[in-house]
Structure 1
């Protein structure tokens, strides 16, 4: 059974990588040919481990590309067609109804204070406006983390001030050390209405527990919006504070954590452990 599970995980990882790398989503038949299985079997494996069909996963990837391009300053129409949408209507629907003006503001008029620290997973970057933490990233080179913050808020003024965010950074480090204690930070979450509903749902998942994409969609009263939930998870700007690491595949498998599956596994193991 263990060998079969490893084979299934490898098939799904390969299919997901193929979808991520392709400009045009590969067909189910093409993914099946790569795996050496029937299309039905690949579909079943993919859905069991991710909670999504390959098509749904591809839609989430495309929605993420659209959001990233708009955040970087591209026009909505340009970004939509570059991401593979055939119409602006489809792009707006995938983005949760985000409007062109709202998408392009990109932090205009905002001042974001940023602070770096070292954590067990590597460099940690916290960014905050006057209203609360708007960015939390880790486990990457400092330059890459800062570039991610600037990509999300291209029009904001970003200033470095470790002392100003010392309490926030200390809270994050304490959470990583003892995650069952939870992480309570003032947050300034900037996203679409649907994204915010998803992020709120993630914050309600207790430490030591997990939910699938489909369970979150059902809890929001949108059971058919599984791929939109996945896209919102991918756009989470505050790792750990909005615990997208607690979202797993329908079968409980670990998938799609941008900070790396080993770190997701470590966080979940620590949260499930005895103690606090």
Structure 2
């Protein structure tokens, strides 16, 4: 499986590819040697992440695939509809999915997202505005939300944290 390790402002990001699809974009807590991309698709993924971190990209145009149930796929699809620099609560997400009682299952599916930034689970927050539930670390979630607010010229208070 082709892999690349990319140095970002939030640490080393491991990007994997399988069958010409990006299968994971995940921040590592440990240091890792930065390796050049092995394929053109991994190069494109790194280029798009560079553009995101430079404030020049708000949406990703990568062929992606995550392993998951039909429900998880639906949850991840909903995440891609959250606008850059905006946040919604887990409750709002469950209502958008016409499943207000499924809030815990939806939150659990968000936590199984392996396409950091590309499928923006960092844009989902607690109903009280708290930064909860982020597998790559709350500090990274905070950094990503602040980065997007800064790019848009929006103050932190707009994002409720």
After TM superposition, the score normalised by the length of structure 1 is 0.50
Structure 1 residue 139, shift from structure 2 partner: 3.9
Corresponding position of 1:47: none
Rounded to whole Å, the distance in 1 between the matches of 2:84 and 2:131 is: 16
Rounded to whole Å, the distance in 2 between the matches of 1:113 and 1:222 is: 37
Larger Rg: 1
After TM superposition, the score normalised by the length of structure 2 is 0.84
8 Å contact from structure 1 (residues 128, 188) kept in 2: no
Rounded to whole Å, the distance in 1 between the matches of 2:54 and 2:101 is: 37
8 Å contact from structure 1 (residues 113, 127) kept in 2: yes
8 Å contact from structure 1 (residues 136, 239) kept in 2: yes
How many residues are aligned here?
149
Corresponding position of 1:120: 9
Rounded to whole Å, the distance in 2 between the matches of 1:132 and 1:211 is: 28
Change in CA separation of 1:274 and 1:128 when aligned onto 2, cut-off 3 Å: closer
Corresponding position of 2:77: 200
Matched, 1:162 2:37: yes
Corresponding position of 2:159: none
8 Å contact from structure 2 (residues 76, 113) kept in 1: yes
Deviation string for 1:199-250 (max 9, x for gaps)? Answer: 0000000011111111111111111000000110110011111111000000
Query: Going by fraction, where is helix more abundant, 1 or 2?
Result: 1
Rounded to whole Å, the distance in 1 between the matches of 2:90 and 2:78 is: 11
8 Å contact from structure 2 (residues 3, 38) kept in 1: no
Structure 1 residue 184, shift from structure 2 partner: 2.4
Unaligned runs of 5+ in 1: 1-111, 144-159
Structure 1 residue 189, shift from structure 2 partner: 2.0
Runs of 4+ in 1 over 6 A off after TM superposition: none
C-alpha RMSD of matched pairs (Å): 2.0
Rounded to whole Å, the distance in 1 between the matches of 2:109 and 2:29 is: 21
Equivalent of 1:252, from 114, 129, 145?
Answer: 129
Rounded to whole Å, the distance in 2 between the matches of 1:267 and 1:275 is: 12
Equivalent of 1:227, from 104, 107, 115?
Answer: 104
Structure 1 residue 161, shift from structure 2 partner: 6.9
SS of the aligned residue for 1:171 comes to: helix
8 Å contact from structure 1 (residues 121, 139) kept in 2: no
Corresponding position of 1:181: 58
